[in-house]
Amino acid sequence: MQETEKNLLNTIAGIRGFQPGTAFNLRQNGLGVERHSTSQVQIKTKTDQPGIDIMIKAHTAAEEVHIPVILTESGIKDDVYNDFYIGEGANVTIIAGCGIHNDGCETSQHNGIHTFHIGKGAHVTYVEKHYGEGNGSGERIMNPTTVVHMDEGSYMEMDMVQIKGVDSTKRNTECFLQADAKLVISERLLTHGKQQALSDVKVSLNGDRSSVRIISRSVGKDQSVQRFHPIAIGNAMCRAHIQCDSILMDHAKISSVPEIGANHVEAQIVHEAAIGKINSDQLMKLQTFGLSEEEAEAVIVEGFLK
């Protein structure tokens, strides 16, 4: 593996290659190049479309699954369909993410479609990071689709991050919660240059005592454009809270359009949204410690997106 690939893996997944003792699948430039299963986690190639099936046995205890994707050639369009079957009572952390290194003049694009089937009482932590780099004029495009089906009493925490360097992204997330299921979605996003980022999140709370918390934090710089559209629909006795906070810089444009709906008298759905510039008092305070305005802005943005 070349140093470029190792660096991409480290940025999107915190690794530089296969981690012994863990389930691992590396997809590079549209092809599966390395795979390891464990006694509790089986990874198999799909027979009807590009992608893999990840099967996690019931009551699996605290396992990690790494499924990174990297593109290092210009002009590639990669479509991949990954399905996760998480058994009853399992506890698993799934670390995904996509990194694109494009030094050419053609567009490199990754469309990842992930579908989760989470069994009763299972606990899933899902981490997804997107990152683009390279000196070429070709665009770096990522369009992730995530569909989640949560059975009774299951828990899922989704941490979805776009670090930088992605010219265009269309994110589509749709979740269906049964009784006592709990979901936390955290989305952090940075855009700069002329980048565009659209994010649609729809959560249907179909079971009594189900709950969701959707948290979006974003920073828009230069002439970039963002739109965040979260939807929470309460179809039972449930709770939902949507929180959207954004920092606007330079000539960027950000729109946040939270949408809530209740189809049950005991559904409690709340949303709040705020967009604004960097606080001038914070800037001044940091500058009194010897930081330049640019350095102070960087510190504030980094802390905001953590």
Half-sphere CA count of 296, side-chain side, radius 13 A: 16
What backbone phi and psi angles, to 5 degrees, belong to 109? -140, 135
Tokens 């986690």 correspond to 41
Amino acid type, 202: K
Indicate the range of 229-233, 234-238, 273-277 predicted with least confidence: 273-277
89: region left, alpha or beta (phi > 0 left; psi from -120 to 50 alpha): left
Residue of 281 and 211 predicted with greater confidence:
211
In this structure, the dihedral spanned by the alpha carbons of residues 208, 173, 84 and 166, taken in order and rounded to 10 degrees, is -150
User: Bridge-partner residues for 155, per DSSP?
Assistant: 123, 182
* CA separation for the pair 194, 64 (Å, rounded): 36
User: What number is the average pLDDT over the span 19-23?
Assistant: 85
Q: What is the pLDDT of residues 32-60, one digit of tens each?
A: 999 999 999 999 999 999 999 999 999 99
Q: Say what the pLDDT of residue 3 is.
A: 87
Q: How confident is the model over 65-88, as a mean pLDDT? A: 96
State residue 1's pLDDT score.
Answer: 67
Which of 129, 35, 27 has the alpha carbon at shortest distance from 73? 27
User: What is the residue-wise DSSP string for the chain?
Assistant: --HHHHHHHHHHHS-SS--TTSEEEEEETTEEEEEE--SSEEEEE-SSSSEEEEEE-TT--SEEEE--EEE-STT-EEEEEEEEEEPTT-EEEEE--EEEE--SSS-EEEEEEEEEEE-TT-EEEEEEEEEEE-SSSS-EEE--EEEEEE-TT-EEEEEEEE-S--SEEEEEEEEEE-TT-EEEEEEEEEE-TT-EEEEEEEEEE-STTEEEEEEEEEEE-TT-EEEEEEEEEE-SSEEEEEEEEEEE-TT-EEEE--EEEE-STTEEEEEEEEEEPPPHHHHHHHHTTT--HHHHHHHHHHHHH-
List the single range of 3-7, 136-140, 207-211, 284-288 with lowest mean pLDDT: 284-288
* Contact present, 104 and 133 (Cβ < 8 Å): no
Pairing of strands 267-276, 238-248: parallel
Q: What is the mean pLDDT of residues 104-132?
A: 96
**β-pair partners for 140:** 108
Mean pLDDT to the nearest integer, 125-135: 94
Q: What is the mean pLDDT of the chain?
A: 93
Task: Inform me whether the pLDDT recorded for 290 exceeds 90.
Answer: no
Percent of the chain residues past pLDDT 70, beyond the cut = 100
Q: What angle do CA 99, 103, 106 make, to 5 degrees?
A: 90
Residue 176 has pLDDT above 90, yes or no: yes
**pLDDT tens digits for range 132-172:** 999 999 999 999 999 999 999 999 999 999 988 999 999 99
Give the whole-angstrom CA distance, residue 17 versus residue 220.
Answer: 32
Instruction: Reply yes or no on whether the pLDDT at 20 is more than 90.
Output: no
Asked whether residue 278 carries a pLDDT value surpassing 80, the answer given is yes
Among residues 129, 131, 179, 173, the alpha carbon closest in space to that of 154 is found at: 179
Percent of the chain with pLDDT over 90: 79
The pairing of beta strand 168-177 with beta strand 140-142: parallel
Q: Please check whether residue 93 is in contact with residue 64, taking contact to mean a CB–CB distance below 8 angstroms.
A: yes
What was the pLDDT predicted at 285?
A: 81
